[in-house]
Amino acid sequence: MVPALTLSVEPLAHRHHHPARRAPCSGSSGFRRSLNRAVTSRARVTMLSRQDPGADGAAGTPLFLGIDFGTSGARYALIDRQGAIHSEGKRAYAPVGDAAGWASSWRAALFQLLGDIPPAHRPSISSISIDGTSATTLIVDSETGELLAGPFLYNESFPDALPAVESIAPANHTVCSASSTLCKLVSWWNTAGSDGTGSGSAAVLMHQSDWLLWLLHGQYGVSDYNNALKVGYDPEADAYPSWLMAQPYSRMLPSVMAPGAPIAAVRDDVRSQYGLSKECVVCTGTTDSIAAFLAARTAGPGRAVTSLGSTLAVKLVSEARVDDARFGVYSHRLDDAWLVGGASNTGGAVLRQLFTDDQLVALSRDIDPAAASPLDYYPLPRKGERFPVSDPDMAPRLQPRPESDAEYLHGILESIARIEAKGYSLLRELGATAVEEVFTAGGGAQNEKWTTIRERVLGVPVRKAEQTEAAYGAALLALKGADRRVGAIAS
């Protein structure tokens, strides 16, 4: 019997809690949202097989498409109103020569995935949403659509811009990290702006998921308050702060809506090429770790989702908002809840440098998860860490390597678990609600030995989320957007 699931984000009391600073945020003092509003909708997940062109019950059952653009590849999930998956698929990114190559690789994956959806389903797609990696930034010419600069990837650091950003933002604000979107924008502005190209009124900033959604709807300058967090948007005030709006580049910033808000209909050329309905609406997206949180469908203070993908991103439902760039800690808003957390550069990317997925499965069989590994590593794919230590120069530590690969893997998995545990205990020290239960999303969720190691190291229950793919969370956003689209579509 598939348990009924509750899609709810319990509203929480909001206190503006910045232990590292008391930001003079306008309108935030005494900021409170009703505790009574709950976003719930009950649905039952009945897993259909992966490609079920004929299994959508009544012909034309409305379907909702979520597409996840993670670090190593893109995936889609097509669900119905009950949350049943009617089709899903994935595409690896085409090899990338240079930074600009990432944009064409993502664009290729987007339209390949649309082409992978069974044609019989496409007319029933009511809405589409996309999640992408956080702080991945593109500068686009809004007159020609041409890519002017970037993509600057989520984990790329721009320390040259940090002094300028720290001079305008409150102390320890989320943007005061070398990998923040604002540092990427200011670094570009300081180079391109000086020779005049940056001051052109046509240049606009887009996040990865904004840009991919733009390929589908064609409207410039729309983002969501999760993606916009690291450029400086204040999700509590629902506005860009005055210290940011005072900057010469502020006109490049997108307008901001809630995740899963209707933007516009699919542009005619895309709609006709892929057989989509005129009714199909494109909705704002979110970041990949928020989409993974949504997919886990957990709620309530103390509940957390760790995304064990190429990176390790933690999201903890907290009654208090906590932001502190000294440690790479920030709070995302999700309706009436705060998701406190951060993203470490540790995670699967290091594993993939050392082992194939098949080797991971084989070697994990020889690990005794009850035994603590004596090996103490800090696994990073290259220098630079964001959370729970914010240090762009931090070096990886993966030595000494034992003879046994199984012991080596055990040491790495346990060391990543220790970083995860340090992350959650840091959030608690900074004033967030204590973690009580962790759900796991991403590729690492399939490793049961790792789950047992993590449960031992974290000291709280750890389980695989029922839906571990961020694409499912993006599909839930599309479902939410479809219900809000009446009269809301931009002309």
Ligand X SMILES: O=C(CO)[C@H](O)[C@H](O)COP(=O)(O)O
| DSSP for residue 35 | S
Q: State which of positions 309-338 bind ligand ADP (CB under 6 A).
A: 309-310
For the CB of residue 11, give the shortest distance to ligand X in the complex, in Å.
Answer: 21
For the CB of residue 225, give the shortest distance to ligand ADP in the complex, in Å.
Answer: 22
Interaction of residue 331 with ligand X, rule CB under 6 A = no
Q: Are 350 and 381 in contact (CB under 8 A)?
A: yes
Q: State which of positions 300-329 bind ligand X (CB under 6 A).
A: 309, 311, 313
Q: By C-beta, is 143 or 366 nearer to ligand ADP? A: 366
Interaction of residue 462 with ligand ADP, rule CB under 6 A = no
From ligand ADP, ligand X, none, interface partner of 343 (C-beta below 5 to 8 A by class): ligand X
Interacting stretch for ligand ADP, rule CB under 6 A, among 31-39, 152-160, 355-363, 369-377?
A: 355-363
Interaction of residue 381 with ligand ADP, rule CB under 6 A = no
Residue holding tokens 């669900």? 79
Using CB under 6 A as the binding criterion, the count of chain residues that bind ligand ADP stands at 19
Q: Are 311 and 343 in contact (CB under 8 A)?
A: yes
Interaction of residue 468 with ligand X, rule CB under 6 A = no
Residue choice 126, 129, 134, 447 for contact with ligand X (CB under 6 A): 134
Measure the CA–CA gap between 151 and 27, rounded to whole angstroms.
34
Q: Residue 290: name the closest of 247, 254, 339, 325 by CA.
A: 339
Q: Residue 427: name the closest of 393, 394, 458, 392 by CA.
A: 458
Per-residue CA distances from 271 to 151, 284, 307, 422, 470 (Å)? 26, 18, 33, 47, 24
Name 331's Cβ contacts closer than 8 Å, sequence gap at least 6. 318, 321, 322, 323, 338, 339, 340, 341
Interaction of residue 348 with ligand ADP, rule CB under 6 A = yes
Residue 263 backbone dihedrals phi, psi, to 5 degrees: -105, -60
Interacting stretch for ligand ADP, rule CB under 6 A, among 2-10, 346-354, 369-377, 416-424?
A: 346-354
Q: How far apart are the first and last CA of the chain?
A: 44
- Per the DSSP assignment, residues forming a β-bridge with 132 are 69, 287
Interaction of residue 92 with ligand ADP, rule CB under 6 A = no
Angle of helix 99-116 relative to helix 208-217, nearest 10 degrees, comes to 50
Q: By C-beta, is 89 or 431 nearer to ligand ADP? A: 89
Angle of helix 288-296 relative to helix 470-483, nearest 10 degrees, comes to 80
Secondary structure of 144-191 in the HEC alphabet? CCCEEEEEECCCCCCHHHHHHHHHHCCCCCCCCCCCCHHHHHHHHHHH
Interacting stretch for ligand ADP, rule CB under 6 A, among 216-224, 380-388, 437-445, 483-491?
A: 437-445
Q: By C-beta, is 137 or 318 nearer to ligand ADP? A: 137
Decide the pairing of beta strands 286-287 and 125-132: parallel
From ligand X, ligand ADP, none, interface partner of 357 (C-beta below 5 to 8 A by class): ligand ADP
Interacting stretch for ligand ADP, rule CB under 6 A, among 35-43, 347-355, 365-373, 474-482?
A: 347-355
For the CB of residue 332, give the shortest distance to ligand ADP in the complex, in Å.
Answer: 18
Interaction of residue 361 with ligand ADP, rule CB under 6 A = yes
Interaction of residue 284 with ligand X, rule CB under 6 A = no
Interaction of residue 396 with ligand ADP, rule CB under 6 A = no
Residues that bind ligand ADP (CB under 6 A): 70-73, 309-310, 348-349, 351-352, 357, 360-361, 442-444, 446-447, 450
Question: Would you tell me which residues interact with ligand X (CB under 6 A)?
Answer: 71, 133-134, 154, 287-290, 309, 311, 313, 341, 343
